[in-house]
Amino acid sequence: MVRVVHGGIGQNMKKTLSDFYCGEVPGYIIKATKDYMIVRMGDIITNKPKEYKITIDDIVEFHHFYSQGNNWMSGGRTLAGIMGDHRPMTELAEEVLEWFKYSNINVLRRKSKAVGLTPKF
């Protein structure tokens, strides 16, 4: 369960991340700052764990691209170099979006507007 509260990143990132995840940070979250989140996911080809850095720009690009109907790869999505089924990729994008809404909402709004999206947060 992700708690959505607007605020800034404090001095203690582990506590901030723990607060965001209501006490239990998922094991696939390696690191998070107000500008990026590093996740560990299985590579689509080898299924070996690999770390991926997802930035605010990646989230904005994901939402802009797929909101324009650019789904030429039926059933698949790509986010920050991670390829996968559209459902888990969209869930991951939404989870990271919520993190940026929590940690850096002003930059997220500005970057969203810059590509023509209308933030509703």
Is residue 2 domain-resident?
A: no
Over the stretch 43-89, which tens digit does the pLDDT of each residue have? 878 889 999 999 999 999 999 988 776 556 667 888 999 988 888 99
In a domain, 120, yes or no: no
Q: What is the pTM for the complete model shown?
A: 0.84
**Is position 20 within any domain?**
yes
Tell the residue number behind the tokens 């995840």, with chain if given: 21
Please indicate, yes or no, if residue 5 is contained in any of the structural domains.
no
Q: Rounded to whole angstroms, how far apart are CA atoms 58 and 75? A: 19
Show the domain range for 76: 13-114
- 119 is a domain residue: no
Count of domains for the chain: 1
